[in-house]
A and B are shown apart, each in its own frame.
Chain A
Amino acid sequence: MARKNEIQLLVDQFARLPGLGPKSSKRIVLHLIKNRTQLLEPMVKMLENFTEIIDHCQICGNVTLHSKCDICSDENRQKNVICVVESVIDLWALEKTEIYRGQYHVLGGVLSIFEGIGPEELGIPQLINRIKHEAISEVILAMNATVPGQSTTHFIVEQLEGLNIKITTLGRGIPSGGELDYLDSTTITSALNSRQEY
């Protein structure tokens, strides 16, 4: 078998990134080669710098350039509410709404026996410890509506049993602009079950 050249190896590296396939990776590599000074060189420097300083917040698991992220350092945010999310991308999605002003806890995944990710790997004992010791009054479990996401929610709820804390989950059902006639019965059932007073 012929040895792959360096350009092809770089294309392969890009193709490993989420959302990119072989075609888009080729386009990116060629674009970087074409724009060497404007794009490639500053990007390489930035990535080198990033590798050295990027870290996870020691309190919530968010990505940060310091030991404590901007959210955990913000004294104006509510300290008694924690929103538990699967990943940083979910945290960003919630932050974009500008509605939630409490704390976060990023699990970094969900329970998955297939990938060997158990409660310890997700830091669930640390989360429970944090809830117990930080005078938390409400925990919002904002995991995705997937089987592993909901299993993880159920698992955490069980660990919180006996603590005098309000536990909530995100509402589920009709999407904005959705019409009942076009929704499946599972979604409508979910919407009915989480109905609220007008």
Chain B
Amino acid sequence: MTPFNISNLGLRNFRCFDSLDLEDLRQVVILVGKNGSGKTTILEALSLFSPGKGLRSAQSEDLKPYGLSVPWRVKASFEINPAEILWLETHLGEEKTRKVLINDKPSRQIELNKILKVIWITPLMDRLWVEGPEGRRKFLDRLVMGFYPEHPTLINKYTRALRERNLLLRERNNEQSWFNAVEAQMASLAVQITKHRLATLEHLNHFQSFNSNLFPAANLTLFHTYPKNEVLDLTNEDIMREWWARNRNRDLTIGKTLEGPHKADLKVVHSLSGRPAQSCSTGEQKLVLLSIVIGNARAIAESFGKPPILLFDEVVAHLDPKHRAVLIAEITNLQSQIFMTGTEADLFPEVGTDAYIINTTDLIKN
């Protein structure tokens, strides 16, 4: 497997950084520094090399320095071979939307996903297993995007059709042909979305089986709740269409669509204890998340041909030395480039001398 690493990273007017240049980055990059010194901001900048809003889910306009109206810019170079360098850039465009340049050529965000994959874990994800299904669904769809670049487009299309059905329920509920037309679109998209999700879970379940025993596999299944005694096959277009048509009157009284892929949830079971993730200890929940991410990184490396870039925000520092060592070894084997944050360099004794350590406290202007 050929590593696919970011060599240089430049930030201009990006949150707390007026200008920042990091050069000759290595496979393992450790960002240390006091709270508020910009460690997560650097990870956020890197996360923008994948489609979407990045690891903080921020609006593009909010990424500029607070109180200023200057456009921000993030640029990175990748050494494909000694003679070929790939340049990726993302910046705030004139229409306040995020623009992407690939080798200085304007491109769509989705094109980034065809070049590299970026996976992240942040402290916000600590509550992924105990909170509502929406967060887990988004987490799953992000994983799916790694295998099916067109998946976010399908989700957007489905969401639009769903909003249209909900509005029809409220405003034009006698237009049966219009309902039929919208539900036909929803059914076609629902099937594609569900098939992508199921195939991704199959990949993840398979590739987690190669994890070390210290990171036991999490058994992942797609879960939907339906009225009693009803089983709905979301991979069958006719069944979906018929279901929505049959339940129009019920949905009408509630004013929204009750079933479909927008209600799917990710069911996660700790394979050793057999307990659902939400019933595991906080430590086990973190290991479950890491197991999925390692499995995902391995699956992507296998199917995409390039290992993903990993962004671990305040993750590794909370592991005991044994788990830290195994995690670093797993990632090094995968040849993924990893960026990790922590308050002190002493928290990463296992990374060895090859790691590139950056103290962000020294970078930021006060």
The stretch among B34-42, B68-76, B124-132, B178-186 that forms the contact with chain A is B178-186
Q: Is A152 an interface residue (CB 8 A)?
A: yes
Q: Which residues of A contact B163 (CB under 8 A)?
A: 114
Task: List the 3 closest pairs (A to B, CB-CB), nearest first.
Answer: A154-B181, A184-B150, A155-B181
Q: Is A22 an interface residue (CB 8 A)?
A: yes
Q: A113-B178, A119-B175, A155-B181 are in contact. List 12 more A-B contacts (CB 8 A).
A: A112-B164, A113-B164, A114-B163, A147-B185, A151-B178, A151-B181, A151-B185, A153-B181, A154-B180, A158-B181, A184-B148, A185-B148
The dominant DSSP class at the B interface is helix
Q: Which residues of B contact A112 (CB under 8 A)?
A: 164
Q: A113-B164, A113-B172, A151-B182 are in contact. Are A22 and B94 (CB under 8 A)?
A: yes
Q: Which residues of B contact A185 (CB under 8 A)?
A: 148, 150
A111 touches B171 (CB 8 A): no
Q: Which residues of B contact A146 (CB under 8 A)?
A: 157
Give A186 to B163 CA distance when docked, in angstroms: 22
Give A154 to B180 CA distance when docked, in angstroms: 8
A21 touches B172 (CB 8 A): no
A interface residues, how many (CB within 8 angstroms):
25
From 127 to 164 in chain A, residues with beta carbon under 8 angstroms from any chain B beta carbon are 146-148, 150-155, 158-159
Q: Which residues of A contact B164 (CB under 8 A)?
A: 112-114, 147-148, 151
A-contact bits for B131-166, CB 8 A (1 contact / 0 none):
000000000000000001110001001001101100
Q: Which residues of A contact B181 (CB under 8 A)?
A: 111, 151-155, 158
Give A111 to B157 CA distance when docked, in angstroms: 15
* Chain A: CB-nearest residue to B114: A182
CB B350 to nearest CB in A, in angstroms, measures 39
* Chain A: CB-nearest residue to B166: A113
Q: Which residues of A contact B161 (CB under 8 A)?
A: 147, 151
B-contact bits for A152-192, CB 8 A (1 contact / 0 none):
11110011000000000000000000000000111101000
B interface residues, how many (CB within 8 angstroms):
25
B167 touches A114 (CB 8 A): yes
Give A21 to B95 CA distance when docked, in angstroms: 8
Q: A151-B184, A184-B150, A185-B150 are in contact. Are A118 and B94 (CB under 8 A)?
A: no
Give A23 to B161 CA distance when docked, in angstroms: 35
Q: Which residues of B contact A21 (CB under 8 A)?
A: 94-95
Give me 14 A-to-B residue pairs in the complex whose CB atoms sit less than 8 angstroms apart, sorted by A's number. Answer: A113-B164, A113-B172, A118-B178, A119-B178, A147-B164, A147-B189, A151-B178, A155-B177, A158-B180, A158-B181, A185-B148, A185-B150, A186-B154, A186-B192
Q: Interface of B with A (CB < 8 Å)? A: 94-95, 148-150, 154, 157, 160-161, 163-164, 167-168, 171-172, 175, 177-178, 180-182, 184-185, 189, 192
Give A23 to B94 CA distance when docked, in angstroms: 9
Give A153 to B172 CA distance when docked, in angstroms: 19
- Centre residue among A111, A113, A150, A152 by max chain B CB count within 10 A: A113
* Chain A: CB-nearest residue to B177: A158
CB A174 to nearest CB in B, in angstroms, measures 15
Q: Which residues of A contact B94 (CB under 8 A)?
A: 21-23
- Pick from B157, B172, B185, B192: contact of A154, CB below 8 A: B185
Q: Which residues of A contact B150 (CB under 8 A)?
A: 184-187
Give A155 to B163 CA distance when docked, in angstroms: 18
Give A187 to B149 CA distance when docked, in angstroms: 12
Give A17 to B167 CA distance when docked, in angstroms: 29
* Chain B: CB-nearest residue to A155: B181
A184 touches B149 (CB 8 A): yes
Give A22 to B95 CA distance when docked, in angstroms: 10
Give A154 to B189 CA distance when docked, in angstroms: 14
